[in-house]
Each structure stands twice: as structure tokens, then as C-alpha cells.
Structure 1
């Protein structure tokens, strides 16, 4: 079979021929049809993530979509989504024509959503949904601010907030393309972010776009955008951080957090169990099948994976890249 293999930390994967994975008890053999290139894949492959440097060589890909070739719990031909621990623990990931996956991790898929769309949504969509509903506790009629609204997390958070009955959803995004994606997802207002933003100035722009104080903030950015958003919290607000692409640190005013009994919360997909993850993904795919949820993405064939990987690693990919392995 063909597979993408990381042979050196920090380098793009090479396409090689490998034997198909051996059968293991409790594992399914899945023929992969689609796999996204995610920021976590890139980070793990550098060898600098908090998981430590992965043993080489290995097949990257922390999630994928495919068809069951052999399993004890599902019939052959069942379409599934699956996670892997590639780059975080020893073992191979989804960017190969076949992969061995614990059967307990498989999520059977509805027929109405294309494999590449499922891959584009995946764990980023789960993070957005769970950060908003489970961790952030969004209630109908509340106002939501989504930082990084053009990312997959941001796009899903905007749409999910509307599906959950938010009265107003404001997004903030850096590039023109990201702003357009946030707007196309239905954000009521989109605030541009700049590299030279000052906290107070950005807070004023965000406040002007919002209808009063903000009840829930979804923050995959941290840095200056988070510091500005923290100034806008309503009484009982929930600020949920799930990333740091704009900076490792943010500041908050103690008086605002205390006087408004606001909650500053962290979220990671590592804190939810297999059942929660599967339920969240199934719910998201039901919305996608009904035309209520989508994300902008780019599809590339396996032969173009090394070049696409480099574009993602260099920050040149505007949209989520999904590798088509069919």
C-alpha cells in the first residue's frame, strides 16, 4: 500500500510503499478514503510538541475517514470516521491507504455526507461544538463572540451557536479570506484583526460589533484578541480557550472577572471520552447532512500530500486541506 511517512522531524512526509498493517485483536482494518492535514499533525511531526518527539519513521494523521475492510463489530463496507494517536504515541496514523484502528474508536457515518467533508469537520468541529455547548454552556438568547472565525473551529462555532439559539454571533478574523468565511457562515458581524492591534482599541471595535456584553467567548487564538475579548464579559459569562495561535499569553482585569462572576475555562478534546466524541460528531454530521453545517476546505490527491503539507506548515493554506486517498 502507499503511505505518507515522516522520516525526519520537521520535514514533509515522503510517499512510500509499505505492507498493509497486520491484524490485531480488537482492531479493525480500515481502507482510508480521506484524511485532513491539521495543525496538530504538523506540530507533532516537528518533534517539539508537549507529547515529545515521535519515534521515526511513522505515518502521520490524527484522524481519518474510510471503509471497514475487516472488523468483528461492524460489517465490511461500513463507512467510518476514526481518530489515531499518531505523533502523540507510538504507531501510525491515517495518511495511508489502510490503517489498523481500535474498533471501540470507530464512528459509523451517515450516507449523506461526503467523506472529504467529514474529514474537514472531524475533531476541530467536535472541539467547537463541545467548547460551545458542554464547556461553555450556551443558552438560547445569549450572545457569542468567536475569535478566529475563519478557522474550522471558528466556522463551526459560528454555525453551532446559531443552531443552539444564540441571539447574536460576532466573529473576529485576520485575513480577508477568513473574514469572508466567517461571514458566509452567518456571523452577524465580523471584526478584522490586525497584527498591530492594541488591546483597548480592539476591545472597542469588538464592543461596537456586539449588542451589549458577551455571554460566551470561543477563543482558539489567545494573545491580544483574547485580552480584548475578556473586557467584554457579561455577568456569568463563560470564556473558553482552546488554542494559542495568536500568542501564548493573555491578560484579564481582575475586577471584571470577579464583579461579573465570569468563568475562564480551558478546553481540549483529550478531556472528553469516546462516547462524548462520537455523540458530538454524529450530531454535527446530522446537521451537515441537513445542509445546516459546512466548512470551507480544499481537496488534494495523495500524490500532492507532501506539497500540501509544506503549505500547511508554512501558514500558506487558507482552508483546511483534506487528502483524498481513493
Structure 2
């Protein structure tokens, strides 16, 4: 079979021939139909993640979509986090507990593109963020798949108003197409106070912030929250540190919450993923992505935006 293979940490994969993997006890073989290149894949393969330098060679891909005995499934792997191979191949092996049967008719490439990114967005909104009907949601990093998903899923979950914040005008235009009521563009050199003023002007008092970026945008977003508001952080694309005066937090009794998909049980992940899939099939959820043949994995490895490899 063909597979993308990380041979040296920090280097793009090489597409090569490999024997098909054989499932062990509690595992199943999956004929892969779509495998996304996600930020976690890039981080693990770089050798700089908190999982350490991965044992090489290995096949990357922490999630994918495929067929088991002809039936469609989504599946997860621990490739790059623990020894073992992932989804970026014509065939993969997954633990039965990491396999979720999909409805017939689901778009494999779209489900792969959304995957755990959309699961995270949904859980930040409805789980950790405790979104109530009619509340105002501010989505930072709206150009990424998590942000795109959060803009759409906030509406599904009952938000009254959704405002998107991103660095590029193209990302904001896309957010408006996806249903954002207002948008705010990040400006170079702007401080947190100035950005907070513009966020409040666009959104009014915010109830919930979905924050995949941290850094200055999060510091500004906290200043736009109403008393008792919540910010859920799930990433650090804009910086590892969010500088906020204690008085901002205390004077409004704000809640700053952290989220990771790793805290989900298998059942919670399954339920959230199927919610995502149902929304794609209903036309309420989509994402921008590039479909690339598996043999072009090296070229696509560092492409901007979400890439889905198709064997």
C-alpha cells in the first residue's frame, strides 16, 4: 500500500510503499478514504510537542475517515503521540473504541476536514462554555476550521448573535457567508484596549468567547465580556500568554476556562462527532479545505489551511 512516512522529525513525509497493517486484539482494519493534515499532526511530527520526539519511521494522521467491511467510519489514532501508525495511508488500523460508524451518505472528505476541530468547537460552546439560548458569542481565530465551525455551530446551539474576529479580510468574508452577524479584523500594532473597544462596538457585551488563539486577541476579548461572561481557550495560535489585569477578571467575575478534546470520554466524543456529521448532512455546517491526492502529501504538508489527503 502507499503511505506517507515521517522518517525524520521536523521534515515533511515521504510517500512510500509499506505492507498493509494487520489489526491486533481489539483493533480493526480501515480502508482509508480521507485523512486530514491537522495542526496536531504537524506538531507531533516536528518533535517539539510535549509528547516528545516520535519514534521514526511512522505514518502520521491522528484521525481519518474510511470503510470497515464496506461501511463508513470515522476513526482516531495516537500517531506521533505514542508508537504506531496513523491515517495517512491507503489502509490503517484503529482501536475499536476509537471508531465511530457514520451515516450512509456522509461526505467523507468534509467529515475528515471538520473532525475533531468541529468536535472541539461544539464542546466549547455547549459543554465547557454552557451556551444559553439568545446569548452573544465571539469567535476568535475565525479563519481556521475550529473558528469556522464555532461560527456555524453557535447558531445551531441557539446563540442570538455571533461575531467573528480574524486577521484576514478573506477569513472575515467567509465568516459572514457562514452566518456571522458581525466581524472584526485584527490590525497590526493594535493594543488590547483598542481592540476591545472595536469588539464591543461590533458585538455589544459578549456572553461567551471561543478562543483558539490566546495572546492579544484573547486579552482584548476578555475586556469585552459582560459580568459573569466566559472565555474558553483551546489553542495558542496568537501566543502562549494572555496578559489581563486582575481587575478586569475580578470586577466582572469572569470565568476563564481551558478545553482539550483529550478530556472527553469515548462516548462523549462519539456523540459530539455524530452531532457534527448530522449538521453537515443538514447543510448547517461546512468548512473550507483542499483535497489533495495522497501521493502529494509532502507538497501539501505545510500548505496553509486545512488539507485532506485522499488515497
Hey, what does 1:307 align to over in structure 2? Answer: 299
Question: The residue matched to 1:310 in structure 2 has which SS?
Answer: coil
**RMSD, aligned CA:** 1.0
Instruction: Please give the TM-score of this superposition, normalised by the length of structure 1.
Output: 0.93
TM-superposed CA distance for 1:176, in Å, is: 2.2
State which of 206, 220, 235 in structure 1 corresponds to 2:212. 220
Q: Which residue of 2 aligns with 1:279?
A: 271
1:121 alignment partner, one of 114, 119, 122: 114
For 1:131, which of 110, 124, 128 is the aligned residue?
Answer: 124
Q: Distance in 2 between matches of 1:10 and 1:175?
A: 28
Is the aligned partner of 1:104 residue 2:89? no
* 1:323 alignment partner in structure 2: 309
Structure 1 unaligned segments of length 5 or more: list them: 69-75, 312-316
- The corresponding residue for 1:52 is 52
Please give the alpha-carbon distance, in whole angstroms, between the structure 1 residues aligned to 2:248 and 2:132: 21
CA contact (8 A) 1:23 1:100 kept: yes
CA distance in 2, matches of 1:19, 1:241: 41
User: Does structure 1 residue 201 correspond to structure 2 residue 201?
Assistant: no
Provide the secondary structure at the position in 1 that maps to 2:302. Answer: helix
Matched ranges for 1:179-198 at <5 A: 179-198=172-191
Q: Distance in 2 between matches of 1:129 and 1:167?
A: 16
**TM-score, normalised to structure 2's length?**
0.98
User: Alpha-carbon deviation of 1:62?
Assistant: 0.6
Cross-structure match for 1:165: 158
CA contact under 8 A between 1:231 and 1:253: conserved in structure 2? no
Displacement, 1:181?
Answer: 1.8
CA distance, structure 2, for counterparts of residue 195 and residue 90 of structure 1: 41
Note the alpha carbon deviations across 1:187-222, whole angstroms, 9 max, x for none. Answer: 1111001332211111111111013x1110000011
Q: Distance in 2 between matches of 1:322 and 1:180?
A: 23
Deviations 1:59-116 (A, max 9, x none): 0001000001xxxxxxx21100001111111100100111111112111111232100
Per the alignment, in what secondary structure is the counterpart of residue 301 of structure 2? helix
> Is 1:291 aligned with 2:283?
yes
Alpha-carbon distance between aligned partners in 1 of 2:193 and 2:2, rounded to the nearest angstrom: 52
Tell whether 2:251 aligns with 1:265.
no
Match of 2:168 among 175, 182, 186: 175
Q: State the aligned residue count.
A: 311
Give the secondary-structure state (helix, strand or coil) at the position aligned to 1:30: strand
Q: 1:34 corresponds to which residue? A: 34
Distance in 2 separating the partners of 1:230 and 1:220: 14
Deviations along 1:150-205, whole A, 9 cap, x unmatched?
A: 11100111111111111111110111221122111111111001332211111111
Q: Is the 8 A contact 1:35 1:61 kept in 2?
A: yes
* Secondary structure at 1:134 match in 2: helix
- Asked if 2 retains the 8 angstrom alpha-carbon contact of 1:150 and 1:180, the reply is no
Q: 1:144, 1:215 within 8 Å by CA — same for their partners in 2?
A: yes
Q: Distance in 1 between matches of 2:159 and 2:105?
A: 27
In the alignment, structure 2 segments of 5+ residues that lack a partner are none
Alpha-carbon distance between aligned partners in 2 of 1:299 and 1:224, rounded to the nearest angstrom:
33
Q: Provide the rounded CA distance (Å) in 2 between the counterparts of 1:271 and 1:118.
A: 21
